[in-house]
Amino acid sequence: MKLSYKFVGFLFWNWGGGYTYGFELWHGGTRTFVDIQGQAGVAGAYGNDQSRQNQWVYDHFEYIYFPHITP
């Protein structure tokens, strides 16, 4: 058996005032990663932070391991 390494990346750019985000990664029926900040229409991320306009507000890469059977 050989492990194959893959990754998924999330980069968020904030154009205006407050922002929110939320996502989950699932593999084989198991949640492997979750990150949620703020609630859309209610309160922005990180205490409704309005100071981070026109810049990257999130940069995360999550590595995922997939087993492969090799002959």
The per-residue pLDDT for range 4-61, each reduced to its tens digit, is 667 778 888 888 777 888 888 887 888 888 888 888 777 777 777 777 777 788 888 8
- Please report which confidence band the pLDDT of residue 68 belongs to, taking 50, 70 and 90 as the band edges: low
What is the pTM assigned to this prediction? 0.60
User: Taking 60 as the threshold, does the pLDDT of residue 70 lie above it?
Assistant: no
Q: Is 42 helix (H, G, I), strand (E, B) or coil?
A: coil
- pLDDT of the residue at 8: 78
Please report the sign of the dihedral spanned by the C-alpha atoms of residue 37, residue 43, residue 49, residue 55.
positive
Round to whole Å and give the CA distance between 71 and 59: 38
